[in-house]
Chain A
Amino acid sequence: MLDISVSYNRYKFLGHEFLTWLWFIIDNNQTKIKESAPISMKIGNRIVLENGRRDAVETIIIKGDDADLEEGILALKKGALVVELNLVCESGDQEWRFTIKGDNLNIVTLKPPYTEPMESKQDLEGSLLERAYLYNMIFEGIDALFNQFIKLRISSDWDQNGLLLIKKWIYS
């Protein structure tokens, strides 16, 4: 395997492409999400895009609960990619909110579904296991989606069933 710091920087673009693909999938193909995890996924209250096609990196931040995402699409048209995405996932009556970073796929400010507060130390084990289960659901979902993306990305299908469809969505 490549040196960790070299691979981190050299393949950072994969995370940005993944989040851009994920936005496209959320908008166009919820079935793909259901195939990966028993959750539904929608865009939350923040998208950060970055355009590094010029000498200086341009950052575009769209935030707000009902923000107009047109600005984001416009940024994609100019060559920007998604570098940070706030997501809302639902399964039954449970809801997770979190932000995923493209550079490293770190999950930050994850708010898991409500769980009963601990009343005594005896509840600790149950509370920890419940939380671990809830965190794991998100990681399994993200990993399964990343798996779909990366398999498509390295396949000969990418140009037709990946890149072309995303371009159609951006320019529609």
Chain B
Amino acid sequence: MGLLSSSVSIIRYKVEGNLKPPVLETIANSLKEYAIIEIDGDSSERTVGWTSYDDPFNPDFERSSFVIGNYLVFSLRIDKKAIASKIIKKHYSLEAAKRLAESGRQYLSRNEKKMIKDKVISILNLRIPATPNIYDLIWNYEESYLWFFSNLKSANEELETLFSKSFKCSLIRIFPYTLADLMMNFSDTERDILSNLSPADFTE
């Protein structure tokens, strides 16, 4: 679900930390450094990186194309190669049979079996293209918040990790406690009361 879709799910974060000035240049450099790397024709199984919102298959952070009004708009891309287990099984069986015939033995050791399986997966990964998954985000740097347009747990975890690695800032997920604690301008006394709250009983 992209940010212009007719229906969206949004996870909110508070961004903690400051970037080195000039901020836009720092962000552009980090986006370029951690931009998605194509893995088609490579033995890698998956890759994660930033990409351009308006051109996710040809990321370009050279110009400040990711700056829109007060917002920074770009996307997280996760490319994965999914090989059906039956295909792996077929190629493993063929390869194992070949190895047995070559060695004249009747059995393969556990280590040999694992090596064959890894080799089969690696060869298959070279041959199949990765499936791209794109998740948009809007970052308001001035107001230190970020909206991520996916509620998939794995995508949110990848976002948190890559964001921290790229910008050396952390993302704090907004939920009832953090919304109250970080965004409601409470005094120390109010924070203490908040920390000591326990569930209310709505029954008679």
Contact = CB atoms under 8 A, between A and B. Distances in A.
Interface stretch (B80-88, B111-119, B121-129, B175-183): B175-183
Contacts of A167: 202-204
A23 to B, nearest CB: 11
B174 A105 contact: yes
Given A107-B9, A121-B54, A154 B197 contact: yes
Nearest to A79: B203
Contacts of A56: none
A153 B175 contact: no
Interface stretch (B19-27, B31-39, B67-75, B98-106): B67-75
Given A10-B177, A154-B190, A154-B197, A106 B204 contact: no
Contacts of B147: 135
Contact of A104 (B3, B8, B175, B193): B175
A170 interface: yes
Secondary structure at chain B's binding surface: helix, strand, loop or mixed? mixed
Nearest to B189: A154
A34 interface: no
Contacts of B94: none
B195 interface: yes
B182 to A, nearest CB: 8
A4 B195 CA distance: 13
Interface string A1-34: 1101001101111110110100000000000000
A147 interface: yes
Interface residues of A, number: 54
Interface in A85-143: 102-112, 118, 121, 124-125, 127-129, 131-132, 135, 139, 143
A7 B195 CA distance: 9
Interface of B: 3-4, 6-12, 54, 68-69, 71, 73, 138, 147, 151, 172-184, 190, 193-195, 197, 199-204
